[in-house]
Structure 1
Amino acid sequence: MDLTVTRTYDAPPVRVWAALTESDLVKRWWGPDGFTAPVARMEVRPGGTSLVAMRSPEGFELYNTWTYGLVDPPRRLEYVLGFCDASGRPVPPSSLGLPGDIPETGVPHEVTLTPSGGGTELTVTERGYGTADTVRMSRLGLEQTLDKLAAVL
């Protein structure tokens, strides 16, 4: 099962692109409400892998890799979000207390940026979830994260 979320930001595509790809900016918005992002080591290039982390209000840290296929600035990013430990070694999502139907090989993401009336329409599609419950959980986190991105822009 897939999910798609679209937001329109009052910022040009190059500014939105920078917020998605530059370490200092990613640290300001990555993660749902109440979470911080202590790590954002960005290597945005085809074949590159970024390491990002989000920290819950209780101090639990969840690490992800974003391994890039397509990088077309400032229009499109395609990457696979994987779950890992602090050193970037893959771990099964279920070992982190996440639903068992999240693909262990990672969640493919497609991000498109389209100019829209002086701003940017951003669309994020996540692919491969096994149940509607996991899609709902991911949608909630993604929507909160994209709201935080708006504050950065």
Structure 2
Amino acid sequence: MSTDRTYDVVAVREFAVPIEEVWRAWSDPGHVQQWWGPTGFTGIRADLDFQVGGTSLVGMRAPAEFGGQDLYNTWTYHRIERPKLIEFDLRFTDGEGATIDSPPGVPSAVRHVVTFAAVHDALTSMTITEYGYAGEHARDLSKAGLDQCLDKMETLLLKTD
């Protein structure tokens, strides 16, 4: 019996906005800071180097009931095809971007593939796949957090100016 099995997260969302607006949610620091982090967490940093080979540093603050600590990740980009695809590795880091230990069951680099498709002019489908979790529990926790981030993204995208 192999112990090398991994588990992936897949999330699909449709947003009632044009594809460029959904793309901007990933490429604009002000937007990322508003949706990054689960419900109750506050985005505190989004230093984006949004280019192939670039590394972004994003941070969130946990609510008091979860300890109130600051949590950071880097996103190192491997492919960017505007407005169709973003591929990056997420790592857990300190506030300076130095890699720290990942939570149990989470790989040191979580590969993410984000795809975008215009269903029509004002409807965009986005699929996020995260690869390589060591167990179902880590995968399920990540999926729950991702779903909450996407709820925040949807709220951001549907705000009227």
Q: Which deviations, in whole Å up to 9, do the C-alpha atoms of 1:102-152 show, x marking residues without a partner?
A: 112x10000001011331001000000000111110010000100000011
> What's the counterpart of residue 56 of structure 2?
50
> What's the counterpart of residue 25 of structure 1?
31
SS at match of 2:133: coil
SS at match of 1:113: strand
Q: Matches of 2:142 and 2:105 in 1, distance apart?
A: 12
> What's the counterpart of residue 155 of structure 2?
151
Aligned residues: 147
| 1:131 and 2:135 aligned | yes
TM-score (normalizing by structure 1) = 0.94
Aligned ranges for residues 2-81 of structure 1 at < 5 Å?
Answer: 2-58=8-64, 59-81=68-90
Q: Which amino acid aligns with 2:147?
A: E
SS at match of 2:113: strand
TM-score (normalizing by structure 2) = 0.89
Q: Which amino acid aligns with 2:49?
A: E
| 1:113 and 2:122 aligned | no
| 1:142 and 2:146 aligned | yes
SS at match of 1:127: strand
Q: Which deviations, in whole Å up to 9, do the C-alpha atoms of 1:51-79 show, x marking residues without a partner?
A: 00011112211100000000111110000
Q: Which amino acid aligns with 1:91?
A: I
Runs of at least 4 residues off by over 6 Å: none
- Taking only aligned residues, the RMSD between alpha carbons, in angstroms, comes to 0.8
Q: Which runs of 5 or more residues in structure 1 are unaligned?
A: none
Q: Matches of 2:146 and 2:51 in 1, distance apart?
A: 23
Q: Which amino acid aligns with 2:94?
A: D
SS at match of 1:150: helix
Q: Which runs of 5 or more residues in structure 2 are unaligned?
A: 1-6
Q: Which amino acid aligns with 2:118?
A: P
Larger gyration radius, structure 1 or structure 2: 2
Q: Matches of 2:151 and 2:96 in 1, distance apart?
A: 28
> What's the counterpart of residue 4 of structure 2?
none
